[in-house]
Amino acid sequence: MQDSNKENRRIISRRWKRLLLFSLTIVLGFFTFSNYIKTDAQLIPIPSPFTDTKVDNNKSNAVANDHKPPMMQILTNKLVQGKNVFKVKIIEESGIKSCEIRYISYESFKTTECVYDKNNTYKALISAAAPSQTVQVYAKDPNGNSATGVKNFIVSPQPAILDQISNIFSHLLRSLHLVT
């Protein structure tokens, strides 16, 4: 009886050792693979699930005798090589008739229309190339008043794809209040 118990323990012990060795090999292989292979992939910025779908560009409530240009504040603080969501806050009591973002991407001049986000914030998807990028924002109200904002950025290299995926999951968990 004792011999069969010892034999069963040895078999179970061998199985656990094999399972542990296999699991350890998989984990170490994953970390080795993820740390030594450089990928040049980039995730496209995912829009917030809480975005207000109201489009503010259709405001046609021009205020008479409004001769003040829109007030503009560029909210984007940094650009990463590749695609970026560029945000700007534009305040105008008459509303905004048009908003454009102009920049040079890979030696060609680009113009992108802004999209209303919420709370007088507009956004657009732009491309950034190293080492630096100059972005110009142009806004016009229904009365013809316009404002231009320009900002220069040092473009950071894109993070590794696994870091991007990790950041997305951590941001998602924080937004669901599962992690602080």
Kindly give the confidence (pLDDT) of every residue in the chain, 180 residues in length, as a single tens digit, with 9 standing for 90 and above: 666 677 767 777 777 778 777 887 877 776 666 655 555 555 566 665 554 444 444 444 556 677 788 999 999 999 988 889 999 999 988 888 999 999 987 778 899 999 998 899 999 999 998 888 999 999 998 888 899 999 999 998 877 788 878 888 888 888 877 766
pLDDT at 54: 42
Domain 71-175 belongs in CATH node 2.60.40.10: yes
Contacts with 150 (C-beta within 8 Å, 6 or more apart), sequence order: 134, 135, 136, 137
What b-and-e string marks burial along 69-89, b requiring 16 or more CB atoms within 10 Å of the CB?
bbebebebeebbbbebebbbe
Distance CA 48, CA 28 (A): 35
> Where do the domains of the chain lie?
1-37, 71-175
Decide: helix, strand or coil at residue 179.
coil
Answering whether pTM is above 0.75, one says no
Task: Give the Cβ contact number of residue 59 at 10 Å.
Answer: 15
Rg (CA), the chain: 27
